[in-house]
Amino acid sequence: RNRAIFIRKFPKNKKENMAASTTSSFPTSQEGVATSSQQNLDAITDDDFEYVDEEFVLSHSAEQQAQPEPMIPDLFKQPSLVKDDLITATSQLQDQTVEHCLPFLTGEDGPLDLNDYGLPKLNREKHIKFLKQSLGPLPGRFVAVDASRPWYLYWCLSGLTMMGEDVSSYRDSVIETARTMQNESGGFGGGHGQTSHLATTYAVILAIALVGGEEAYDVIDKKAMWKWLCSLKQPDGGFQVCVGGEEDIRGAYIAAVIITLLDLPLDLTPESPAYDGRSNLLTGLAEYVRSCQTFEGGISSQPNNEAHGAYAFCALACLAILDNPRRIIPSYLDVPRLISWLSYRQYAPEGGFSGRTNKLVDGCYSHWAGGCFPLIEACLSPSGPGSEKNKTATGLAAAPESLYSREGLIRYILCCCQDQTKRGGLRDKPYKMSDPYHTNYVLSGLSSAQHQWDLDSDPLPLPNGDTTPSLAALGADSVWNVFPYIDENDQIYEDSDRVRPIHPAYAIPQKNVNAIRAYFQGRSGFA
Ligand code: FPP
Ligand code: K
Ligand code: ZN
């Protein structure tokens, strides 16, 4: 009698399909094959037809075994239809990656509880436990990542925050740890006695902002930080990442973050390599960002290098901090080419993003590449949700069409990036180990895919008719608003799987950005 259910075609229409089902679990592969294939219907014998009784099926299936096929668009469940004939090591790795991902995307791999759209839930408890454990103490082999201890603080605290955990209980340990990492000559290194680096300084400052509180903010030696940043500022507008180190776009982004969060003075010390009596810490910074856009349309670490997603985020976020994105992004970047390059980063059927041309999807690019879209979308939308143009009949902001597939990215994240064993955490791709870096950036990407960010207003005119950003313009008129992104037709995940929003440029919650800025703006000078 079960066969009657197997050969019954389930309606394609999603609403009917949902109404017909009382359970949200996934059919066995046997059912999946039999219901979806015309061949199987052709092979039915006369005997079988006895059982093809719609009324019987409808009256018996509800609480028995009828399980509708999950609603997964073909795009995300079969290999790409467009294939290059040339077989290379690169194409083989790509094919292998698709082969690894497909069973996770279709759900045929595991005994997981899947919803009507074929998606597992966000396994919060396991991921929270994984991040709490990663805050230490850690086994000896972790000595290899000793210089990344500040990053561990940021990744873990940020991931926990996005999953709704209160991390203020970590304040005292962040304070103690950060103190040991700070150098008298300014900035934070990877640990006690290690050279200050912009990357570790960024991570410490964001960790401090996440735990919040004056005692934590007070750890930062603001005057030494300012002098150190001056020593990193280069005549062409960019920043070295450490004294005598490389100059790249990470430096540009991180400097913009530090200067604005700590409200540093923009004056250059006479010792600065960029000192010329006219320039300041921001002079030429947007021009430096522009010089990193490549022929592909993406952004490279330094002029004339290969475009990579990590640097696209640095470029857009740096500009969005310097001035209203609606004005500054199109002034300094070729936006159509950048959108083209970014769009090529999202793959099907995987749904996730790659970091560069001809390379593989990786969960962390959910943030580095995916996280570019809120900034791009904000710079393109003619006006924010406050404007009449965007309001629907209900008075609520209409969700505009996205420039990327939020559904694809969310499918990749929930199906392929979760370590479903007791280890927990999120990862690059199936068969890779979860780690705090991927856990944080996969969640950041999930967060941007689940929210809609809008700029409240059009840019105000710059003072003195300036065209380059100045302190007066820094974020002054960039009022960001955030809403849950609701797709009325295809809400493919449960509301309980929505993580918290983070600021599109600072990558921590907006309230933490506001609190640390308010603290330093409220104190004049270096006192
Ligand atoms: C390539 O690695 C990765 C890079 C060239 C850049 C990585 C940089 C970041 C992730 C962050 C930079 C930003 C800040 C703010 C510090 P790969 O060759 O292993 O990976 P791929 O094959 O995916 O390109
Ligand atoms: K990678
Ligand atoms: Zn990665």
> pLDDT digits over 147-190, tens only?
999 999 999 999 999 999 999 999 999 999 999 999 999 999 99
Distance 427 CA to ligand 3 centre (A): 7
Residue with the smallest CA separation from ligand 1 atom 14 is 250
499 closest CA partner among 131, 60, 101: 131
Give the list of residues 6+ apart from residue 27 with CB closer than 8 angstroms, or none.
Answer: 35, 67, 68, 69, 70
| Site to substitute for ligand 1 among 311, 321, 440, 442, most atoms within 8 A of C-beta | 311
ipTM over 0.85: yes
Which atom of ligand 1 is least distant from the CA of 441? Answer: 10
Is 364 noted as a catalytic residue in this protein?
yes
Kindly state the percentage of the chain with pLDDT values over 70.
Answer: 79
pLDDT at 469: 52
Indicate which residue of 435, 454, 477, 497 is catalytic. Answer: 435
**Quick one: pLDDT band at residue 12, thresholds 50, 70, 90?**
very low
* Per-residue pLDDT reduced to its tens digit, 397-443: 556 679 999 999 999 999 999 999 999 999 999 999 999 999 999 99
280 or 6, higher pLDDT: 280
Residue with the smallest CA separation from ligand 1 atom 15 is 250
Q: Would you state the torsion angle of the CA atoms of residues 505, 452, 440, 220, taken in this order, to the nearest 10 degrees? A: 30
Whether the pLDDT of residue 516 is over 60: the answer is: yes
Indicate which residue of 292, 364, 379, 415 is catalytic. Answer: 364
Q: How far apart are CA 244 and CA 457, in angstroms?
A: 41
Ligand 2 ion: Cβ-proximal residues, 5 Å cutoff: 362
Using alpha carbons only, give the angle 473, 478, 481 rounded to the nearest 5 degrees.
170
Is 236 noted as a catalytic residue in this protein?
no
Phi and psi angles of residue 293, each rounded to the nearest 5 degrees, phi first: -75, 135
Residue with the smallest CA separation from ligand 1 atom 24 is 355
Mean pLDDT is lowest, of 273-287, 330-344, 449-463, for: 449-463
Which atom of ligand 1 is least distant from the CA of 362? Answer: 23
Beta strands in 22-140 (DSSP E): none
State the DSSP string of 453-520.
EEESSPPPPPGGG-SS--GGGTTTT--EEEEE---SS---S-GGGPPPP--TTTSS-HHHHHHHHHHH
Question: Are 363 and 433 spatial neighbours (Cβ–Cβ below 8 Å)?
Answer: no
pLDDT at 3: 31
Whether the pLDDT of residue 9 is over 50: the answer is: no
pTM: predicted TM-score of the whole model, two decimal places: 0.86
413 closest CA partner among 432, 436, 439, 437: 439
* Per-residue pLDDT reduced to its tens digit, 267-284: 999 999 999 999 999 999
Is 362 noted as a catalytic residue in this protein?
yes
Whether the pLDDT of residue 7 is over 60: the answer is: no
Pocket of ligand 1 (CB under 6 A): 199, 250, 253-254, 308, 310, 314, 355-356, 359, 362, 368
355 closest CA partner among 288, 429, 281: 429
Distance 193 CA to ligand 1 centre (A): 26
Residue with the smallest CA separation from ligand 1 atom 10 is 310
Is 428 noted as a catalytic residue in this protein?
yes
Give the list of residues 6+ apart from residue 342 with CB closer than 8 angstroms, or none.
Answer: 297, 298, 309, 312, 369, 372, 373, 376, 403, 404
Residue with the smallest CA separation from ligand 1 atom 5 is 308
Is 356 noted as a catalytic residue in this protein?
yes
Residue with the smallest CA separation from ligand 1 atom 8 is 310
Distance 118 CA to ligand 1 centre (A): 31
103 closest CA partner among 89, 116, 114: 114
Chain centroid to Cα 359, Å, comes to: 18
Is 435 noted as a catalytic residue in this protein?
yes
Whether the pLDDT of residue 506 is over 50: the answer is: yes
Give the list of residues 6+ apart from residue 28 with CB closer than 8 angstroms, or none.
Answer: none
pLDDT at 16: 35
For the chain, give the mean pLDDT: 85
Question: Any idea what DSSP says for residue 9?
Answer: P
Cis peptide upstream of residue 137 (ω within 30 degrees of 0)? yes
Tokens describing residue 111: 């005994």
Kindly state the percentage of the chain with pLDDT values over 90.
Answer: 72
Mean local confidence (pLDDT), 21-25: 33
pLDDT at 38: 37
Q: At what angle do helices 198-211 and 149-162 cross, to 10 degrees?
A: 40
Is 519 noted as a catalytic residue in this protein?
no
Distance 435 CA to ligand 3 centre (A): 10
Ligand nearest to the CA of 365: 3
Mean pLDDT is lowest, of 305-319, 414-428, 469-483, for: 469-483
Distance 368 CA to ligand 3 centre (A): 10
400 or 103, higher pLDDT: 103
